[in-house]
Structure 1
Amino acid sequence: MARRRRGLPVNGVLLLDKPKGLSSNHALQRARRLLQAQKAGHTGTLDPMATGLLPLCFGEATKFSAHLLEADKAYRTRVELGMVTDTGDAEGEVIERREVPRLSEADIEGVLARFRGEIEQVPPMHSALKHQGRKLYELAREGRTIERAARRVTVYDARLLALEVDALELEVRVSKGTYIRTLAEDIGRALGCGAHISALRRLKTGPFAASDGMLTLEALEALPDQAAREAALLPLDVLVAHLPRLEVDAAAAQRLTHGQPARVTHGLAAGETPRLYRDGAFLGLGTVTTPQEVAPKRLLSSAVA
């Protein structure tokens, strides 16, 4: 006999303003408890010291969370010059101190220009990447260092916001898989004084921005009741809004929700993944198989029901 899942069938996306000092998973579990949700997942982690935009998926939205894992991101970060830590951030131990030269905005701009575009980046040991089934940060805590291959990432923009004697504020826009800690370390190395980050705030991920109405855990808790908390969630299809939209008729919807391909006039190329709707209601995703046919790919359980 299948175990009954505890909680309510809550569906939607929460744009959480993650607080400093909390892991992404702990933030997710706190939000899940507040929403009394049966099922929840996040869309890529933020370090405990980082704050800002963390989209959380509840219920049926978890089926589409992978679409954000590939997303570009934007951050604001504070880079401390003259000190290198073993983690690349302020939570690590200082392993090297260097004198910070007098730097002008032109000096900083000259170095930032070298890091814009496609670059090679070696992932940090203090990361969730895995080696032989174990996370690198677990091995790092044991004092082990594993050889890591450089990966190609893209820094779309790196902009100086403020320059102090021994620190600078940057806003960066990057591709998936880019480590801001490593970028700051590499910039510090290029400046000749070393660096680590002391603050990191995510401003954007994929189609979502901090200005879109993030909620803190405290604000979510302060909402008067369950209905108000669920009303704060974005609809499921915001995660796949970049995909083409396709309305289907009742006959096609019935076939698709029974796992069968359906005859649909669409004008899309074979292999494309459209969002499927029936009378404006989101059904899930399909796959274009022929110029006149679409097959089901990932449908909502409610649509199938």
Structure 2
Amino acid sequence: MDGILNINKTTGMTSHDVVAKVRKILWQKRVGHTGTLDPAASGVLPICIGQATRVAEYLSESGKAYQAEIIFGAVTDTYDTEGTVIRTAPVAELTLPQIEQALSHFLGPQAQLPPRYSAIKIQGQPAYKRVRAGEEISLEPRSINIAHLEIIAWDSPRLTLAIECSKGTYIRSLAYDLGEHLGCGAYLGALVRTRSGPFLLSESITLEQLAVAAASGSVEEHLFPADRALQDYPALLLDATTAERVLHGNAFRYDHYNRDLPISTDLARVYDTGGHFLAIAEWDASQRNLKALTCKGQTYAKHGICNDNFSKRAYYNNYWQL
């Protein structure tokens, strides 16, 4: 079984818990998630099965979208409801226009300091474990980008916010920083991931639904092809000769007379003329060619990441023919 499941994670579960459940339901060993979603959060968690685990790292680079509830007037040590309240402040005079103005300061590229209670590794150990052990730790700010912030509802002291952001963005830190900017403090009350890369909450299934599908033999209906995770990368359609070279792990030259080829990108999806996904190719500027990426010395194509049921309509409306 190969493909990607779009799982709607419930609160209280870690991402590893979901992976373990999927392994048990499907009787599959090769299962992996594409980026941690906090236990207190729910929503989209793409799970890669079989050969699709080889594209997990590329999906983890994709942008995310969330719906968050931010509660003003208090600060917790974890920046969410799981922690201890360390200070409070009145919010009776906090207005929606003030919040709107404050939010404008958090749009665009920026440096964000992650929460001390996070899974970021410090010398091999998660930061939150070191903090709980009484250690004083220091985390470095991370470069992130918040592309969109939209107020969904305001019922003081609770704000519901839609967020579109880059990977690595901590919504808990956004809540904390927003509260500090307004001078009243804030923490994250609830969080739902509504999108991870191309995977939407509206397309997701619960673990309970997956179990029903497994019992009825209909899991394949819920599997997305591996290249769904790569749709942000340009697609290259190869002729039969070049496709054969890729299958044997050889590099191939791009048509330098075709000025539409997006050689400024580092990676591309590679297909044969039948629309079958063959490999992920990496641009080599020094050699002016592309080469199928390897994993343990072999190309993705040799490991079988291709899908006969691949949908041209959904996954490559724009491609460059070589």
Q: TM-score of the superposition, structure 2-length normalised?
A: 0.84
**Partner residue in 1 for 2:210:** 220
SS of the aligned residue for 1:225 comes to: helix
Instruction: Provide the C-alpha distance between the structure 1 equivalents of 2:20 and 2:215, rounded to a whole number of angstroms.
Output: 18
Partner of residue 159, structure 2: 168
Give the unaligned 5+ runs of structure 1: 1-9
Could you tell me whether the CA contact under 8 Å between 1:252 and 1:264 is conserved in 2? Answer: no
**Cα gap change, 1:118/1:302 in structure 2, threshold over 3 Å: closer, same or farther?**
closer
Q: Which residue of the partner structure matches residue 233 of structure 1? A: 223
Equivalent residue number for residue 277 of structure 1: 271
Query: Does 15-24 or 148-157 show the bigger shift?
Result: 148-157
Contact 1:83 1:96 in 2 (8 A): yes
Q: Is the 8 A contact 1:84 1:196 kept in 2?
A: yes
- Deviation string 1:131-165 (CA, Å, 9 cap, x unpaired) is 12211111111122312222232221222221123
Task: Give the superposed CA RMSD.
Answer: 2.3
Q: Amino acid of the residue matched to residue 169 of structure 1?
A: T
1:96 alignment partner, one of 87, 90, 96: 87
Separation (CA, whole Å) in 2 of partners of 1:138 and 1:257: 45
- For residues 71-86 of structure 1, what are the structure 2 equivalents within 5 Å? 71-86=62-77
Between the aligned partners of 2:61 and 2:305, the Cα distance in structure 1 is: 26
Q: Residues 226 and 63 from structure 1, CA distance in 2 versus in 1: closer, same or farther, beyond 3 angstroms?
A: farther
Q: Does structure 2 conserve the Cα–Cα contact (< 8 Å) formed by 1:72 and 1:206?
A: yes
Deviation for aligned residue 1:272: 4.7
Q: 1:262 to 1:158 in 2, by over 3 A?
A: closer
Q: How does 1:1-305 map to 2 (within 5 A)?
A: 10-211=1-202, 213-223=203-213, 225=215, 227-262=217-252, 265=255, 267=258, 268=261, 269=263, 272-278=266-272, 279-288=274-283, 294-298=290-294, 299-300=300-301, 301-302=303-304
Distance 1:146 1:276, change over 3 A: same
Give the number of equivalent residue pairs: 294
CA distance in 1, matches of 2:123, 2:214: 47
- Distance in 2 (CA, whole Å) between partners of 1:172 and 1:43 is 19
- Which is worse superposed, 28-37 or 133-142? 28-37
In structure 1, distance between residues paired with 2:6 and 2:130: 32
Q: Name stretches of at least 5 consecutive residues in structure 2 with no aligned partner.
A: 295-299, 307-322
- SS of equivalent to 2:304: helix
Letter in 1 for 2:304: S
Q: Taking every aligned residue pair, what percent have the same amino acid on both sides?
A: 37
